[in-house]
Amino acid sequence: MSATEFLPLNITVLTVSDTRTEADDASGQALVERLAMAGHRLVEKAIVPDDIYQIRAILSRWIADPAVQIVLATGGTGMTGRDSTPEAVRPLLDKEIDGFGELFRWLSWEEIGTSTLQSRALGGLANGTFLFCLPGSTGACRTGWDRILQAQLDARTRPCNLVQLLPRLGER
């Protein structure tokens, strides 16, 4: 792969919500549209209730699938009693990407000020699959994709990107 060659990735999208359906899942749809516009492939999209075990079940299936390279999740990252995406995801991770949540909150600061402290956005790596958990608002999904993920999931981004790590993620 040359430095100027785009490499389409296989991506799944998970919406975590007790109330959203395919008809009104604006955040999940925003991610699907953005990844498609960037040239990536949608492998699967799903909506699950904010339940730790249902979230883990679908994520575990995707993480175990060698065809899935990236998982994008939206929703369940807040502070209320039902918000459980970080608790569902962290035990599945081999490594956490601390900089993702930090950068997301820093960028969100420009848009929503101190309200960004309520975000528990996180990123990590599990079984050679990158996982990124974004808040459930469409604006947060736009921020996460447009200002972080689009560039990091593009092999042409310099000086470095996550795509160039994919072949080496299984090394022990």
Domain chopping of the chain, boundaries:
11-168
In the predicted structure, residue 2 carries a pLDDT above the cut 70: no
* Summary mean pLDDT of the chain: 93
* Token code pair at residue 89: 């995801």
- Long-range Cβ pairs for the range 114-121 (8 Å, 24+): 118/78, 118/79, 119/77, 119/78, 120/77, 120/78, 120/79, 120/83, 120/85, 120/86, 121/77
pLDDT at res. 3: 57
Q: What is the pLDDT of residue 76?
A: 82
First vs last C-alpha separation in the chain: 23
Within 8 A by CB and 6+ apart from 19, the residues are: none
Q: Is 107 exposed, middle or buried (0-12, 13-18, 19+ CB in 10 A)?
A: middle
Query: Tens digit of pLDDT for each residue in 24-72?
Result: 999 999 999 999 999 999 999 999 999 999 999 999 999 999 999 999 9
Q: What is the per-residue DSSP string for 32-79?
A: HHHHHHHT-EEEEEEEE-S-HHHHHHHHHHHHH-TT--EEEEES--SS
In tens, the pLDDT along 138-170 reads 999 999 999 999 999 999 999 999 999 999 987
Q: Domain 11-168 falls in which CATH fold?
A: Molybdenum Cofactor Biosythetic Enzyme; Chain A (3.40.980)
- Write down the pTM of the prediction: 0.94
